[in-house]
Amino acid sequence: MTISLGEEQLRAIENERVQYATLQQELLLYTLGATGVIFALTWALYTPDTAISYAAGAIGGLVYLRLLNKTCVCCCCSCAPCVLTNVFHVPYLHPTTQC
């Protein structure tokens, strides 16, 4: 089954994808900035061991969010089911896709 989209719809979809990618980048930069500020404050107010522990947890959290983003992003422009992949790159169908 092939679903054809108009040129305007394709432009709108591409525009939304670009906006989403820009938002992702901005949020990542804000998160990294906040992590750096909090790390500096933790280093100044607590022991270096505590600050290093915080940094390790923050980096682990950022990696987890990045992996979660890669497995959950689904831009469906048709009624076809979304094919996602998990961490091991095994494809599966998105369970909530409805037309």
3-state SS assignment for residue 81: coil
- pLDDT tens-digit profile of 30-83? 989 999 999 999 999 999 999 999 999 999 988 888 887 776 665 444 444 455
- Global pTM reads 0.60
Please say whether the beta carbons of 78 and 72 come within 8 A. no
Tell me how far apart the alpha carbons of residues 20 and 31 are, in angstroms, rounded to a whole number. Answer: 16
The distance of Cα 76 from the centroid of its chain, to the nearest Å, equals: 16
pLDDT class of 7 with cuts at 50, 70, 90: confident
The structural domains of the chain, with segments of one domain joined by +, span 7-93
Tell me how far apart the alpha carbons of residues 28 and 22 are, in angstroms, rounded to a whole number. Answer: 10
Q: What is the DSSP code (8-state) at residue 92?
A: E
